[in-house]
Amino acid sequence: MKLGFIGIGNMGNAILKGYLTANPGSEKAIFAYDKDQDRLKSVSEQTGINACDRVPSVVEKSDIVILAIKPDIFGRVLSEVAVAMDWEKKIIVSIAAGITLNYIYEQCRESAGASGEENFRCKAVRVMPNTPALIGKGMSALTRNEWIRDEEMEKVMAIFRGTGKAEEVDEKLMDCVVGVSGSSPAYVYMFIEALADGAVALGMNRKQAYTFAAQAVAGSAEMVLETGLHPGELKDRVCSPGGTTIEAVASLEMNGFRSAVINAVKTAAEKSMQMTK
């Protein structure tokens, strides 16, 4: 399989490195373009991938083309992709926030000069990753259009498993994904910071407080994933009758902790809906 990258910034680079780690020796089958040619040259020298000076060059040489670009330039870049696209065989993968499969289809059809053709096909997968992908601990949601076969989808899923976990979802849930995993690292960082602030207020130095808080959060998350137990059951196991933890939990409830988090997820999803094309 030949893999192409349009855009090799933070997220594109994370996907690239995850794929190379999972597929050693595959660098000569990877082609990339970035408008920042110095950055592209640096990544090429570090990884051994093929640097291209034009978008169509990447598309011509690739089976799967990952568009790791910002939404505001998506339409323009897609018109360059269309120049070299084999619509029956090649797959477009977009990680641009708010860009729907229908938008990709309509833009591709227009770029291909097939606006009036009802039988036009465009194989596309839409992905919502999150920033922990930068360290191989990401959570990616993928959704496909009707022309992606199961075996093709599995190839795309494998790419994103190199950056952490990946799940296929219905496209109607992508705004929900923004709230629960796309934006949620920011909420978690706030929680870690608040935990550390509490420890600092009680006399712990800040560096050590961040270590204790971050490890507690990381370990708790792993417990949910590894045990498969309901988070509420895991919480109850920590809360001894009349103990310190149940007092802290009661304090969080009185201060609206749970409802604040639920509302944050809903607010992020609503904003995503407003931004969606």
- Say if 76 falls within a structural domain: yes
Q: Are 27 and 106 contained in the same domain?
A: yes
Helices (H), ranges, the chain:
10-22, 37-47, 55-61, 74-82, 101-111, 150-161, 174-177, 184-201, 206-227, 231-238, 244-254, 257-275
Whole-number pLDDT of residue 112: 80
Rounded to an integer, what is the distance from CA 32 to the centroid of its chain? 19
Q: Is it the case that residue 219 has pLDDT exceeding 80? A: yes
Q: Which two tokens stand for residue 244?
A: 């310190």
Provide Rg for the chain, Cα atoms: 22
Percent of the chain with pLDDT over 90: 90
Q: Are 106 and 80 contained in the same domain?
A: yes
* pLDDT per position as a tens digit, 247-258: 999 999 999 999
Q: Is it the case that residue 118 has pLDDT exceeding 80? A: no
CATH number at residue 89: 3.40.50.720
Q: Are 63 and 190 contained in the same domain?
A: no
- Say if 179 falls within a structural domain: no
Instruction: Measure the CA–CA gap between 208 and 199, rounded to whole angstroms.
Output: 9
Q: Is it the case that residue 117 has pLDDT exceeding 80? A: no
Query: Does the model's pTM come out above 0.75?
Result: yes
Instruction: Measure the CA–CA gap between 139 and 78, rounded to whole angstroms.
Output: 26
DSSP symbol at 178: I
Range of the domain at 137: 3-174
> Of residues 120 and 198, which shows the higher confidence score?
198
Q: Are 97 and 220 contained in the same domain?
A: no
Whole-number pLDDT of residue 115: 66
Q: Is 44:51 a contact under the CB 8 Å cutoff?
A: yes
Domains contained in the chain, number: 2
